[in-house]
Chains A and B, each alone.
Chain A
């Protein structure tokens, strides 16, 4: 048995096992990403596909387009509010759970359930909850706020932050998931470490700050990456709550409208490509970081 044969014997069965999914991924994910990028540099507008090369025409047009600026700004606000909101709520819930609570299993499921509901259903329920009609027409959260004499226009307000109201249902849906991530992270920290700190006379706050916090960074990073990519591609939730409203329009909605209502397929493809790179900016450093960490761990 030569060395080469042994090496082949080691990786060929593995490769055969993963090859179906590699082929499918290659075609349906990477192939279509490539196809999409290709469309974005053509002049395809209208029902029939045309493939005359126009270079970065659509990208230049988008960067000069006020609608796209508005949508990008909305997306930024939405992402910030959504990530900060669901991270802090999720972390708080996880810390409370970790402290020990009666009926933890039931509570954990209750907090996780919203994630199981499709964004469309969530959106339809929250459209009602975020109703902003004055007087008798008031429903949902404004009914509660009315008890203390407050009324919010939510996503219909004229404020530039109107889109932040959509982060409320999005955070409602996903903070339970963030809680589960953090809780798993917390449970992964051996009790001996905390005990040791306590024996050394550390207060409970110092135990969390000096022992727990540093060990939670990997979990924090995964939560951040998961939430960021969900935020960038959110479409159904916004579409269900406030379709065709400039105050809550994001690039994903613009892409849908311009491609499938206006037949600007190349422009839609250009927006999709920009969104793809925006997600890559978040994810690629993360992958690079985790690969490097795995190597050093080995």
Chain B
């Protein structure tokens, strides 16, 4: 600690609240195509209704926020919080809450009647020890399987697989035609596949239990699901690329399916100019029909935010139907609210929104995208997965994930 004393004392200049200053600083990692336009639309709306307030868009570029989070950690430790910052909804916030960085927003939810405006399953996943710390802006879906309908017909497959057992049977047919059943890439895409195999094989109740200690990782059913995952890898083309080149292999006909989140629909429709249902099609990943494995971006209110009034105005805009409908069509996601304007969402998004708003849909949370595990446990799972990937020992993987849960819950 003493070594820090010689550094310039920059850490004391921030931290004071400035309620009179007309300014708001919003920290995010939305700088990519689609998301940046969506953020700009929100900012324009904010400026209209809050005339004269300076809006500082502190967006830090870099893969799903990993760069931004480091910049943010530094600022928070030095007590220089922005007025609001982006977080994946769910337990990714647990560390920040433990560190005392976040304001409890339950009151804001109650005074604005937001609790009834979002699906109950979402509110439950957003709550940490009964309190809500974030406002969800958009909803993405993780449990999706993409394919090319024409190619599937060419290979003599009538309909996409509804269960992983059926998938493995189709893999045999495809093998005879020299096609791999699935395309999977870098480690995170493998984990993305793993969470959806667990979801499809175990069902929603046991899947939810994996994350709160109610399902025993070492149980026979979980180990069997992990074995199924290994069989799926065996019939897949396993690369190290990010998700775009990985899904390209489906378009090229190297592989039949790709399990990816719905940002892939935006890529296929935009960069690849493919038509929904014609050039590409998508169904829920095997065994998860009627389930929405969600991830969401949300905004928070840090403690000691210098401009709290405008930060709350920002959060209200984010939660409003108008704000959500401005942002989501551009970002390629669906609004979290149940009362948003359906006519703004077409093609894949139209289907996704009807599924999200369907009251029969069961909402579960994604592991890879920060909903169901805190950062420490998640990074320990990633570490154990590295050993699993090379050694292929399901029981050992289950045991280390279970031990990591006990050590980091």
Q: Which residue of A lies closest to B380 (CB)?
A: A262
A264 contact from B76, B379, B389, Cβ within 8 A:
B379
Chain B residue at minimal CB-CB distance from A248: B240
- Give the contacts of B67-93 with A (CB-CB under 8 A): 70, 73, 76-77
A105 located at the interface, meaning its Cβ lies under 8 Å from any Cβ of chain B in the complex = no
Task: Tell me whether A66 is interfacial, beta carbon within 8 Å.
Answer: yes
B6 touches A262 (CB 8 A): no
In the bound complex, residues from chain B placing their C-beta under 8 Å from that of A260 are: 70
**A47/B98 contact (C-beta < 8 A), A31-B3, A70-B387 known:** yes
Q: Are B1 and A35 in contact (CB under 8 A)?
A: yes
Q: A31-B3, A46-B99, A48-B99 are in contact. Are A67 and B379 (CB under 8 A)?
A: no
Query: Residues of A contacting B100 with CB < 8 Å?
Result: 48
| Neighbour of B66 across the interface among A48, A245, A261, CB < 8 A | A261
Chain B residue with minimal CB distance to A162? B390
Given contacts A47-B95, A70-B390, A244-B187, contact A261 B76 (CB under 8 A): no
**Per-position binary interface string of chain A over residues 257-295, scored 1 when its CB falls under 8 Å from any chain B CB and 0 otherwise:** 110111110000000000000000000000000000000
Decide if B390 touches A247 in the complex (CB within 8 Å): yes
| Cross-chain contact B386 with A67 (CB below 8 angstroms) | yes
Provide the bound-state CA to CA distance between A264 and B101, in Å.
18
Complex Cα distance, B6 from A39, in Å, reads: 19
Q: Kindly state the separation between the CA atoms of A263 and B391 in the bound complex, as whole angstroms.
A: 26
Taken together as a complex, chains A and B put the C-alpha atoms of A135 and B179 apart, in Å, by 13
Report the Cα distance A245→B99, complex, angstroms. Answer: 31
Tell whether, in the assembled complex, residue A34 and residue B3 are in contact, meaning their CB atoms are under 8 Å apart: yes
- Report the bound CA distance from A209 to B382 in whole Å: 52
Is A243 engaged at the interface, CB distance under 8 Å to the other chain?
Answer: yes
Q: Please tell me if the beta carbons of B95 and A46 are within 8 angstroms of each other in the complex.
A: yes
CA of A254 to CA of B3 in the docked complex: distance in angstroms? 26
Q: Which listed residue, A35, A133, A261, touches B375 by the CB 8 Å rule?
A: A261
> Are A258 and B387 touching (Cβ within 8 A)?
no
Interface size classification for chain B: 35 or more
- Specify which chain B residues have a CB less than 8 angstroms from the CB of A243 in the assembled complex: 186
In the assembled complex, B173 has its CB within 8 A of some CB on chain A: no
**The one of A133, A242, A245, A258 that contacts B383, using a Cβ cutoff of 8 Å:** A258
Whether the pair B3, A35 counts as a contact (CB closer than 8 A) is: yes
- A31, A35, A133: the one contacting B239 at CB < 8 Å is A133
Chain B neighbourhood of A66, CB < 8 A: 387, 391
By the criterion of a CB under 8 Å from any partner CB, how many residues of chain A are at the interface? 32
Which of chain A's residues has its CB closest to B191's CB? A244
- Given known contacts A66-B387, A156-B240, A47 and B77 CB-to-CB distance under 8 angstroms: yes
B239 engages A156 (CB within 8 Å): yes
> Is B96 interfacial (CB 8 A cutoff)?
yes
* B400 and chain A: residue at smallest CB distance: A66
Q: Knowing A242-B240, A260-B70, A261-B66 touch, does A70 contact B376 (C-beta < 8 A)?
A: no
Q: Which residues of A contact B391 (CB under 8 A)?
A: 66
Q: Is the CB of B387 within 8 A of A245?
A: no
Cα of A46 to Cα of B407 in the assembled complex, Å: 13
For chain A, residues 41 to 60, give those with C-beta under 8 angstroms from any C-beta of chain B: 45-48
Chain B residues within 8 Å of A254, by CB: 383
Which residue in B3, B73, B375 is a CB contact (below 8 Å) of A27? B3
Taking the complex as formed, is A32 at the interface, i.e. its CB lies under 8 A from any CB of chain B?
Answer: yes
Interface membership of A249, Cβ < 8 A: yes
Whether B386 lies near A246 (C-beta < 8 A) is yes
B187 proximity list for chain A (CB < 8 A): 244-246
**A247 CA / B391 CA spacing, docked (Å):** 11
Interfacial chain B residues near A247, Cβ < 8 Å: 390
Residue of A nearest to B391 (CB): A66
Expressed in whole angstroms, the minimum distance between the Cβ of B242 and any Cβ of chain A is 9
Knowing A27-B3, A35-B1 touch, does A257 contact B239 (C-beta < 8 A)?
no
Q: How far is the CB of B203 from chain A (nearest CB, A)?
A: 29
Question: Is there a chain A Cβ closer than 8 Å to B378's Cβ?
Answer: yes
- B76: which A residues are within 8 A, CB to CB? 47
**Beta-carbon contacts under 8 Å, B10-24 to A:** none
- Closest A-chain residue to B387, C-beta based? A66
**Nearest CB of chain B from residue A1's CB, rounded to whole Å:** 38
- Can you give 6 A-B contacts (C-beta < 8 A)? A32-B3, A35-B1, A35-B3, A47-B99, A258-B379, A263-B379
Chain B contact residues, CB within 8 Å of chain A: 1-3, 6, 66, 70, 73, 76-77, 95-96, 98-101, 186-188, 239-240, 252, 254, 375-376, 378-380, 382-384, 386-387, 389-391, 408
